[in-house]
Structure 1
Amino acid sequence: MSVQNHFKRRIAYYYDGDVGNYYYGQGHPMKPHRIRMCHNLLLNYGLYRKMEIFRPRPAEMEELTRYHSDDYMLFLQNIRPDNINDYTKQMQRFNVGEDCPVFDGLYEFCQISSGGSIAAAQKINEGHSDIAINWMGGLHHAKKSEASGFCYSNDIVLAILELLKVHPRVLYVDIDIHHGDGVEEAFYTTDRVMTCSFHKYGEYFPGEYW
């Protein structure tokens, strides 16, 4: 085996073409269509030749509730733009409505996003890849029973829980301009996960001062 081949990284990339169809609403800054644009750049630059591309299986309810509460996930599964009036109290309870609006296919969007990150973690656990990518994920603000910052299901927490099945410790590095508060909160009381977030501080969402 040559030195060049020895250091070649096995890269798995997860993408579902349906993800770009979801729409948060007019004027909303979160636009899943950008994930499709990113995928098209990957294809046109020929980067797909450097990796294996997989379409992940959507996460099932029992996978999502490994972290999220049952009642919160059932709410996301049942809420639709045409039945909002039936869920007024639950929307307030689960912080859904303004920054985190109800849109068509909301639960399916969560399934696709989280399914990609869970599959990526499994691929790492199995030793079949050195690097696994899911640009449909990264929804780091979602809490156990609450939406936050455009995020409904926390695919990162679910992926870390998958990694912990095999690895004794996980280092989570977040380089978003916003603090990854949802992931930090999920693992705040364990020494098996270290969360390291590089973000803008001060009077900036979600509002931490460190």
Structure 2
Amino acid sequence: MISSSAKDLYKYQPSKAKEYWQKGLSELGKSSLTLNLLTSDSDSDGGKKTGEALQSMLETQLPGLKLTVTSVPFKTRLARRENCEFQICGSDWIADFADPISFLELLTSKNSSNYGSWKNSQYDKLIAASKNTNNQEKRLKDMSEAESILLDDTGVIPLYYEDDAWLIRSNAKGWICKRSEWNFKEAYVTK
């Protein structure tokens, strides 16, 4: 679920990025900045490759940025992330169930998985309201508004969405597939 206004945030705008980068450096009174990105060292979760790609892209596009990548074992990254021992940390999430709240609730102020400690009281109110109504239209509106706040504030920066491709025989029937939810209990094969 990405609101139409939030979709504009995903457009590639290198000139805007450079403009904001230079403005930020100026506000800090600096001409360069070194940041560290914490990733996993295994390729099974894509952390190392993602870190290397980000390092190359960001250093190329943002003059004066030096991005060091610290790749550690997966369990070490988890421990450092949970203890807030990072400047920037790559992370991932797979929804526990097929609903936007599975992602959006993570960034509420008091959620233990909000490792970046981002806080916005209006966001918290909208997420709470979305969880306390039976009106689905209002619920989705609240979540959409919350998502816009999250992305406007840069509480989190989505880099990519993982997806799977499946080949299912045309004569396989009765199975249910919703994102993050597979059910083969009633599945059968026709001739």
Give the TM-score range, shorter chain: 0.3 to 0.5
TM-score, with normalisation over the residues of structure 2? 0.33
Identify, as 1 or 2, the structure richer in strand.
Answer: 2
TM-score, with normalisation over the residues of structure 1? 0.30
The structure showing larger relative contact order (alpha-carbon pairs under 8 Å, at least 6 residues apart) is 1
